[in-house]
Amino acid sequence: MDEEWLSASPQRDDLKLHCERNEEEVSPQLFTFHEAVSQLVEMEEQVLKDHRAVFLKSIWWLEDEKVLLEMTEEVDYDVESYATQLEQILDQKIEILTELRGMTVAQKHSLASCSSKHGSLFYVFSSLSIHQQIR
């Protein structure tokens, strides 16, 4: 049995212990399924972490945009400065939101792939919190 992947992540400790105790009862499909679910959990955690970071950054963007809009209420505001600052904010938003969107799309593709490979077993586990299944 190839145990290299079993030791690659702390999330696999429970399965590794189970395998050592009941080696004849553990199928290769269970290994594959557990590995797929572990990867989904890691991906989910990263997407959530990045989503929270984008949310917090959005608060800063709103403050910056509020200052810019207040600037336009003055009679002789610097239009070039306004446009430059707004462009910088928009570039940041586009870059960060595009990256988060890409991660979300990748997460959805991974979920679909796992679902197609593991069928009904995956649906049972995905209907519950994946975190509770692994930890």
Of residues 52 and 127, the one with the higher pLDDT is: 52
* Per-residue pLDDT band at 135 (split at 50, 70, 90): very low
Q: What is residue 110's predicted lDDT score, i.e. its pLDDT?
A: 86
pLDDT in tens, 65-114: 999 999 999 999 999 999 999 999 999 999 999 999 999 999 998 888 87
- C-alpha distances in Å from residue 70, one per residue of 9, 81, 82: 51, 13, 10
**Does the predicted model carry a pTM greater than 0.85?**
no
Q: What is residue 54's predicted lDDT score, i.e. its pLDDT?
A: 96
What average pLDDT does the segment 10-22 reach?
A: 54
What b/e string do you get for 116-132 counting C-beta neighbours within 10 Å, with b at 16 or more? eebeeebeebbeeebee
pLDDT in tens, 25-59: 656 666 677 777 788 888 899 999 999 999 999 99
With tokens 């984008």, the residue in question is: 54
Q: What is residue 119's predicted lDDT score, i.e. its pLDDT?
A: 62
- Three-state DSSP string of 88-125: HHHHHHHHHHHHHHHHHHHHHHHHHHHHHHHHHHHHHH
Contacts of 36 (CB under 8 A, 6+ apart): 114, 117, 118, 122
